[in-house]
């Protein structure tokens, strides 16, 4: 099939690769010209997509990256994979989804199937995407949803072996979605309406957000009780049923866990229901950089003005360079606001806010905070950086930790 994917980011680029490898003719559209220049030059900016894989797709002639919306005109299927962030009032911001829908409406020169992969509240496909496309298009399009479940950096679960939900606004839209996605995905599960798929996606991430908050709360309690949270968790995890282990940490980051539950809370709010678990979990998770900051100031003692602190890992996730909503960055800001000199090391992020990753030398710092651990951060690299190490990741033993 001729398929266009709007948005060549963490979701859209891997999807475009999988589609091209399955033999479809794929246009990868992105409004960010620098991303397109990189892609055309065979340079990947997504960790899960290797340079050889990208180049293979380009060489096959099946994948064409472009920043020109006109290129989508003859596609049989157009997939939306654009960001769905929160605005400054922390409410759903559907501007990217609306602009992608407008692009489809304005540039399609035939009927097509529009599939949404962007995460949003129930009703987005039916009440936002369809009317926006139709406002600009004289063609009769069909509409479906198949929420992406990608877990960047996960070596076990990928686009092929992770089961996928889907639903069409019409039976034929669902059928064509199944036909297309079954060319690169092993298991597809049809649900009765797009709203079920939209809400299931939000609930999956809300489940993680709430459980991470619960274990962060346990960490605060166990710390006050003087008991190791990790030992408690290992002990509880010996129960073979009815328990699932989540790890405490500096908070939550990225495009999904801190954002998606607020989309569900928004949908609840529209029906005059307050999503109390979501509000509470947001509060607990957002408080973790404060909790850690306070503990670090206690360790540094009264003369912290002349102390130099190193934070290792400033992305939100191990082995990923994405710093969106990263709690490590919150910690940097809080420590600096308290008057502590803070530098950071992250060879994946390399540059952030006109600052560069600091190189690690033997005992260069008074204290090292392991905020997020990438694979290159060996025990010896971490321990040699300073005499005192504070571990937020639960991956070091015999040192100060959450």
Ligand X SMILES: NC(=O)c1ccc[n+]([C@@H]2O[C@H](COP(=O)([O-])OP(=O)(O)OC[C@H]3O[C@@H](n4cnc5c(N)ncnc54)[C@H](O)[C@@H]3O)[C@@H](O)[C@H]2O)c1
Question: Which positions lie near ligand X, rule CB under 6 A?
Answer: 6-12, 29-32, 35, 81-84, 96, 99-100, 103, 117-119, 148, 150, 152, 255-256
Q: How far lies 45's CA from each of 42, 255, 264, 322, 364, in Å? A: 10, 16, 30, 10, 31
Tallying the residues shown for the chain, one arrives at 402
Reply yes or no on whether 185 is catalytic. no
Q: How far is the CB of 101 from ligand X (least distance, A)?
A: 9
How far is Cα 35 from Cα 41, in angstroms, rounded to an integer? 10
Q: Which of 7/168 has CB closer to ligand X?
A: 7
Min separation Cβ 233 and ligand X, Å: 25
DSSP string, 179-240: HHHTTT-S-EEE-S-HHHHHHHHHHHHHHHHHHHHHHHHHHHHHHHHT--HHHHHHHHTTSS
* Closer residue to ligand X in complex, CB, 142/260: 260
- Closest residue (Cβ) to ligand X? 9
**Minimum distance of ligand X from residue 104's CB (angstroms):** 10
Nearest to 320 by CA among 375, 357, 368, 370: 375
Q: Which is nearer to ligand X, 251 or 340 (CB)?
A: 251
Cβ of residue 106: shortest distance to ligand X, in angstroms? Answer: 11
User: Is 82 or 173 the residue whose CB approaches ligand X more closely?
Assistant: 82
What's the CA angle centered on 149, arms 133 and 207, to 5 degrees? 110
Distance in Å, CB of 11 to ligand X, minimum = 3
Buried b (16+ CB within 10 A) or exposed e, 254-274: bbbbbbbbbbbbbbeeeeeee
Pick the catalytic residue: 57, 185, 256, 392? Answer: 256
Cβ proximity to ligand X: between 97 and 311 the closer is 97
- DSSP character for 86? B
The residues annotated as belonging to the active site are 256
């Amino acid at each position: 099939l001729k398929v266009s994917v709007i948005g060549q980011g963490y979701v859209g680029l891997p999807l475009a690769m999988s589609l091209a490898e399955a033999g479809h003719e794929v246009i990868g559209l992105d409004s960010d010209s620098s991303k397109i220049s990189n892609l055309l030059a065979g340079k990947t900016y997504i960790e899960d997509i290797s340079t050889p894989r990208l180049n293979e797709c380009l060489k096959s002639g099946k994948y064409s990256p472009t920043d020109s919306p006109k290129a989508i005109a003859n596609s049989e299927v157009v997939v939306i994979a654009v960001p769905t962030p929160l605005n400054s009032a922390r409410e759903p911001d559907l501007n990217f989804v609306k602009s992608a829908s407008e692009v489809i409406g304005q540039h399609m020169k035939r009927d097509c199937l529009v599939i949404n992969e962007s995460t949003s509240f129930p009703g987005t496909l039916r009440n936002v995407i369809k009317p926006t496309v139709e406002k600009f298009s004289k063609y009769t399009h069909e509409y479906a949803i198949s929420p992406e479940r990608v877990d960047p950096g996960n070596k076990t679960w990928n686009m092929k072996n992770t089961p996928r939900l889907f639903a069409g606004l019409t039976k034929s839209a669902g059928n064509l979605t199944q036909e297309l996605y079954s060319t690169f995905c092993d298991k597809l599960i049809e649900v009765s309406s797009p709203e079920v798929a939209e809400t299931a996606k939000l609930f999956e991430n809300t489940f993680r957000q709430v459980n991470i908050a619960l274990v962060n709360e346990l960490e605060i309690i166990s710390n006050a009780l003087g008991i190791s949270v990790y030992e408690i968790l290992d002990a509880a995890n010996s129960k073979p049923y009815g328990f699932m282990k989540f790890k405490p940490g500096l908070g939550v980051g990225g495009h999904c866990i801190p954002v998606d539950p607020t989309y569900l809370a928004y949908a609840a709010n529209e029906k005059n229901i307050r999503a109390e678990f979501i509000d509470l979990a947001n509060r607990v998770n957002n408080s973790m950089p404060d909790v850690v900051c306070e503990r670090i100031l206690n360790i540094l003692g009264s003369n912290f003005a002349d102390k130099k602190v190193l934070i290792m890992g400033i992305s939100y996730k191990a082995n990923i360079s994405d710093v969106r909503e990263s709690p490590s960055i919150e910690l940097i800001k809080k420590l600096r606001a308290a008057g502590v000199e803070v530098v950071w090391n992250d060879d994946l992020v390399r540059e952030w806010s006109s600052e560069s990753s600091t190189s690690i030398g033997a005992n260069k710092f008074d204290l090292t905070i392991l905020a997020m651990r990438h694979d290159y951060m060996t025990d010896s690299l971490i321990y040699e950086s300073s005499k005192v190490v504070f571990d937020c990741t639960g991956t070091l033993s015999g040192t100060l930790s959450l």
